[in-house]
Amino acid sequence: MSSDEPSPAPTPDAEVGHAELQEERHIAGSPHAVAAGAALLALTRAARSFTLYDPANKVVRALIADYRDRFRAVLEGHGPLLLEAHPFELTLGREVVYLERDRERSLAFRLFRDGVRRLSFMAGTSWDELLRLLQILSIRYTGVPYSTYYATKAALNHLTRTTAAQYAPKQIRVNAILPGLLETPMVLKSAGLADAYGGKEEEVWKARARQVPMGFGGSAWDVAWAAVYLASDEARYVTGIELVVDGGVTLKYA
């Protein structure tokens, strides 16, 4: 085929075999569980594709279409999808519908680590809502997403921008701070979170530091100093921003 001829559009099944996209395993079980597992795999693959390809790439478009079709199939064919998150699994009732033990790739691990315990997709969930979820997850995709947690963050980010625009004529500034992986007591005291990282305090901090391009976890002071700047006169011309304080974590997946 000459270089001037367009390449055939890749199919999701063919492309997810790529080493960078192949990950979580298929799950057997009831028809509902199998459909749910397929939908979750489609979600993780679509989100991961944003870290590998340009959004306009045929691979990304094919994976997004597969994600849409898989979720439509499970919601229209079986009704609401009510999932519980565990350190390395997502369960539907008593059935495991997602399993991945690699912390760097596992959707379940990252959900559980960030405090998400349940995910609910209602039968009437629209494609716009599913697409927004995918977009939210892809912003900081490090394995993937996490619906209620990230949806809340996205809502606050949007609130920051709209409120900043509304009150700018009154010289009122509105900004948001987006912290990354911090070394705080919450990490060690959250049920199951420390265990998911290895249990012992030293192991927890080392594991989290390995995820940060700068090589170390932040502290509450890093966030505090960001707040001091935004509240100061030196930031008098700064409004409507989302100040990321994460040691470069989001840069890995931009």
Mean pLDDT lowest for which of 48-62, 98-112, 193-207, 210-224? 48-62
Could you tell me if 136 and 211 lie in one domain? Answer: no
Structure-model confidence comparison of residues 156 and 31, the more confident one: 31
pLDDT bucket at 14, cuts 50 / 70 / 90: very low
pLDDT bucket at 16, cuts 50 / 70 / 90: very low
Could you tell me if 132 and 183 lie in one domain? Answer: no
Q: Which two structure tokens, joined as six digits, stand for 148?
A: 């209620």
Task: Give the residue among 109, 85, 77 at the shortest CA–CA distance from 207.
Answer: 109
Give a yes or no: residue 162 inside a domain.
no
The phi, psi pair for 82, rounded to 5°, reads: -110, 105
pLDDT of residue 189: 76
Give a yes or no: residue 201 inside a domain.
yes
Q: Are 37 and 47 in contact (CB under 8 A)?
A: no
How far, in Å, are 24, 87, 130 from residue 19 at the CA level? 12, 24, 26
Q: Are 50 and 140 in contact (CB under 8 A)?
A: no
pLDDT bucket at 97, cuts 50 / 70 / 90: very high
Could you tell me if 120 and 177 lie in one domain? Answer: no
pLDDT of residue 28: 66
Give me the number of domains the chain comprises. 2
Could you tell me if 212 and 96 lie in one domain? Answer: no
CB atoms within 10 A of CB 136: 22
pLDDT of residue 163: 94
pLDDT of residue 146: 46
Give a yes or no: residue 192 inside a domain.
yes
Assess whether pLDDT exceeds 70 at residue 120. Answer: yes
Could you tell me if 190 and 142 lie in one domain? Answer: no
Please list, in sequence order, all residues whose beta carbon lies within 8 angstroms of the beta carbon of residue 212, skipping any fewer than 6 positions away: 180, 181, 218, 246, 247, 248, 249
Task: Give the residue among 193, 198, 199, 171 at the shortest CA–CA distance from 181.
Answer: 193
Task: Give the residue among 116, 115, 110, 147 at the shortest CA–CA distance from 131.
Answer: 147
Q: 244 pairs with which residues across the strands?
A: 178
Assess whether pLDDT exceeds 70 at residue 118. Answer: yes
Give a yes or no: residue 62 inside a domain.
yes
Could you tell me if 95 and 214 lie in one domain? Answer: no
Report the percent of the chain where pLDDT is more than 90: 37
**The domain that contains 178 carries what CATH number?**
3.40.50.720
Give the C-alpha separation, 237 to 123, whole Å: 46
Could you tell me if 142 and 201 lie in one domain? Answer: no
Could you tell me if 120 and 196 lie in one domain? Answer: no
Please list, in sequence order, all residues whose beta carbon lies within 8 angstroms of the beta carbon of residue 52, skipping any fewer than 6 positions away: 18, 20, 21, 59
pLDDT (mean) for 117-126? 86
Task: Give the residue among 122, 124, 181 at the shortest CA–CA distance from 147.
Answer: 122
pLDDT (mean) for 213-228? 95
pLDDT (mean) for 147-158? 68
pLDDT of residue 142: 42
Q: How far apart are the first and last CA of the chain?
A: 33
Q: Taking all residues of the chain, what is their mean pLDDT, rounded to a whole number?
A: 78
Give a yes or no: residue 161 inside a domain.
no
CA atoms within 13 A on the CB side of 66: 24
Could you tell me if 178 and 141 lie in one domain? Answer: no
Could you tell me if 104 and 207 lie in one domain? Answer: no
Can you give the residue range of the structural domain that contains 240? Answer: 173-253
pLDDT bucket at 192, cuts 50 / 70 / 90: low
Give a yes or no: residue 167 inside a domain.
no
pTM: 0.48
Q: Are 115 and 44 in contact (CB under 8 A)?
A: no
Please list, in sequence order, all residues whose beta carbon lies within 8 angstroms of the beta carbon of residue 214, skipping any fewer than 6 positions away: 247, 248
Give a yes or no: residue 89 inside a domain.
yes
